[in-house]
Amino acid sequence: MRRVPGHSLAVALVVTLSLGTAALAQSAFVSDFETLVQAPSIQSALSYIEADHERRVQETLELVAIPAPPFNERRRAEELARRFREIGLEDVTIDAEGNVLGYLRGTGGSPKLVVSAHLDTVFPPGYDPTPRIDEQGVIHAPGIGDDTAGLTALLSLARAFIANDIRPVGDILFVGTVGEEGRGDLRGVKYLFASHSDIDGFISIDGGGSGPADIERFGISYMALGSKRYEIHFRGPGGHSWGAFGTPSPIHAMGRAIAKIADMQVPSDPRTSFTVGVVSGGTSVNSIAAHAVMETDTRSSSPEQLERTVDELLANVRVAVAEENARWGRWVIDADIYLVGDRPSGTQSVDSPLVQAAYAAATVLPHTEPDLNDTPGSTDANLPISLGVPSVTLSRGGRSSASHAPEESWDPANAWRAVQALFLTIAGAVGVDGISEPLLPEHPGYSYEFPGLPFIPEMYLVPGEEYRLSWTHVTP
C-alpha cells in the first residue's frame, strides 16, 4: 500500500532556472490531485471548509484573546487541547515541553505527517490581546495572524476530515507548538522531533496569503535560514569612576568587542549577516560597570558559513576581553557566552514530495494558484529540513500585515481558500482510504537530541507562575 508506481522523485518536476532562482513549472502530481479532487467525499470536505469559514473566524477571535507570550503559552495550549478533543482527535495530550498533540489515525499506519501551527506570540507578558474589528472586517490584535489564524486553520482542517468521515491511509498528527518565536528558539518543534523518531513529513502553517481578491496565491516555502544568537555577559569588579579608575570595565570590553564585530567581512554568496542587536549594563554615569550584556544575531543560508562567522564573532569577544584587561594590567574581566538561539539552516530540492503536493493542490483548485518561495525563511520547519525530513511552510490564508507589531492585523476574507489547499495537500500526502495511496514516502530515519535552553529570559518570567518544561533553566 506504500507507493504509487511510476512516480520518480528524481524526475517528478520540470524545473526552470533563472538567475539562480528555481521556478516550478509543473508538478507530476497534478494528475493525481485532479483525480483526488473529483472524489465525492473530497468535494464534500472542500465545501465543508468554505462553510466552516465563519466558525474559524470566531475561533480566531477567541484564541487570540488568550495571551501567549513566549514561555507562557499554557493557557492557550489548554484551550487548544480542549478543542482538539471536542472535534474528535485521538490521544490528545500536552507534552512535557508544552506542545499540544492530537492524532487522526490512518488505516495503514504510515506515513506519519505532522501538521502544525505555533501557539506563542512575539509579545512579552503584559500585552493587551483584545481583538478589534474595523469597518472593513479586518481584525486587529497582537499575534492575530502570526500565528493564531494558523491554529484555527488546524481546527478547521481536523473538522473537515472527521465531519466528512475521510479516513487517511497514513497518520496525521496535529500539533500546536510552543516557542517558535524569538527566544523560544523553536523549543517546541525541537522537543517534538527529539521525542518522536518516526515523522515522515512536516507542514508548518505560518504565513499569510497574497494576490488579488479573486485568487489566493498559496505560499509554499521550503528553504531554512539558519541563525545563531548569543547573550554575552561581561563581568568585572566595578567601582567608582574616580576612586576605582584603572579598573578594567565590562562596558569598555564590550565596546571593543562591538568595534571588532562591526569590522567583520562576510560573503554575499552564500548570503550571511551579523549584528549586535541589544546592549545593556551599568548603574550610573559615574560608575565603572560591574556587568554589561550584549546580544548578537548571526545568519547564513549555508550551515558551514554560519559556523565560520560565529567562530570569528566569538573570537573577537575573547580578544576584546583580553585587550581590556591588558590595557590596565589587571586580569579581572570575564565574558560568559550563552547560546540562546540556534535555528538550523537547511536546503531541500523542489523534488520534495511535500513541495510537489502543495504545488499540485493549489494548481487543481479554483481561485488558488501556487506561490513557490525559494528564499530561505525561519519557521518551525527549519528543524525538520535540517534533519532531511520533507517539510514545507504553507499559507494560513487571509491577508496579514504588521506582523510582530502591536497593530498586527488579519483580513480573513476568503481565507478558506488556503485551508482548502492545505486540506488537499495533506490528503494527497498521506493518502485517503479507498481513494488514493500516499504520495509521501517513509523517511529512512533521523536522530535528534533536544539540548534545552540555557535559561528563561527574565523579561518572560511572570511572578508566581510555575514553569514546567522538559529542561531545567538556570539564571545567568
CA distances from 315 to 142, 265, 354 (A): 39, 14, 40
Encode pLDDT of 160-189 as tens digits: 999 999 999 999 999 999 999 999 999 999
CB atoms within 10 A of CB 51: 11
Q: Are 345 and 381 in contact (CB under 8 A)?
A: no
Q: Which grid cell is 223?
A: 528553504
Spatial separation of the C-alpha atoms in residues 207 and 215, rounded to whole Å = 16
Where in the sequence of the chain do the CATH 3.30.70.360 domains occur?
226-344
CATH 1.20.1250.20 for domain 9-224+346-430, yes or no, is no
- What's the pLDDT score for residue 68? 98
Spatial separation of the C-alpha atoms in residues 61 and 155, rounded to whole Å = 14
pLDDT tens per residue across all 476 residues of the chain: 333 333 333 333 333 333 333 445 466 799 999 999 999 999 999 999 999 999 999 999 999 999 999 999 999 999 999 999 999 999 999 999 999 999 999 999 899 999 999 999 999 999 999 999 999 999 999 999 999 999 999 999 999 999 999 999 999 999 999 999 999 999 999 999 999 999 999 999 998 766 666 788 999 999 999 999 999 999 999 999 999 999 999 999 999 999 999 999 999 999 999 999 999 999 999 999 999 999 999 999 888 999 999 999 999 999 999 999 999 999 999 999 999 999 999 889 999 999 999 999 999 999 999 999 988 999 999 999 999 999 999 999 999 999 999 999 999 999 999 999 999 999 999 999 999 999 999 999 999 999 999 999 999 999 999 898 999 887 77
- What's the pLDDT score for residue 387? 96
- What's the pLDDT score for residue 34? 96
CA distances from 169 to 201, 429, 434 (A): 14, 9, 9
Please choose, from the candidates 199, 206, 225, 33, the residue with its C-alpha nearest in 3D space to the C-alpha of residue 116. Answer: 206
> What residues contact residue 118 under an 8 Å CB cut-off, 6+ apart?
147, 150, 151, 176, 177, 178, 179, 180, 181, 188, 204, 206, 380
- What's the pLDDT score for residue 210? 64
Encode pLDDT of 396-407 as tens digits: 999 999 999 999
> Residue 228's beta-bridge partner residues?
298, 342
Spatial separation of the C-alpha atoms in residues 150 and 403, rounded to whole Å = 13
Topology at the third CATH level for domain 226-344? Alpha-Beta Plaits (3.30.70)
CB atoms within 10 A of CB 89: 25
Where in the sequence of the chain do the CATH 3.40.630.10 domains occur?
9-224+346-430
Spatial separation of the C-alpha atoms in residues 335 and 196, rounded to whole Å = 37
- What's the pLDDT score for residue 13? 34
Q: Which grid cell is 373?
A: 518561495
